[in-house]
Amino acid sequence: MADNHGNTPAAWTAVLVSLVGFVVGAVGMSVSPLNWALFWVGTAVVVAGGVVFLVMAKMGLHESGH
């Protein structure tokens, strides 16, 4: 595995956005009664994390700084 695997701005941003999405979705699933709208918002944020990664990678932010 490369020394810089995942250590790029695009990767970190995508992970952080997806983490927020997972937390939002988990809160939606944890409240009683289940809040399906909040769950689906979290799901959309996770998908947006993938889109953010692709956009940032196209901008050249997924390349090694070495």
Q: Which two tokens stand for residue 48?
A: 């947006």
| Closest to 54 (Cα-Cα) out of 17, 26, 5 | 17
pLDDT tens per residue across span 13-22: 999 999 999 9
Residue 3: what are its φ and ψ, rounded to 5°?
-65, -30
pLDDT tens per residue across span 20-29: 999 999 999 9
Core vs surface per residue 29-58: b (16+ CB within 10 A) or e: eeeeeebeebbeebeebbeebeebbeebbe
What are the sequence ranges of the domains in the chain? 9-58
User: Can you give the pTM of this predicted structure?
Assistant: 0.85
Three-state secondary-structure class, residue 44? helix
pLDDT value of residue 34: 95
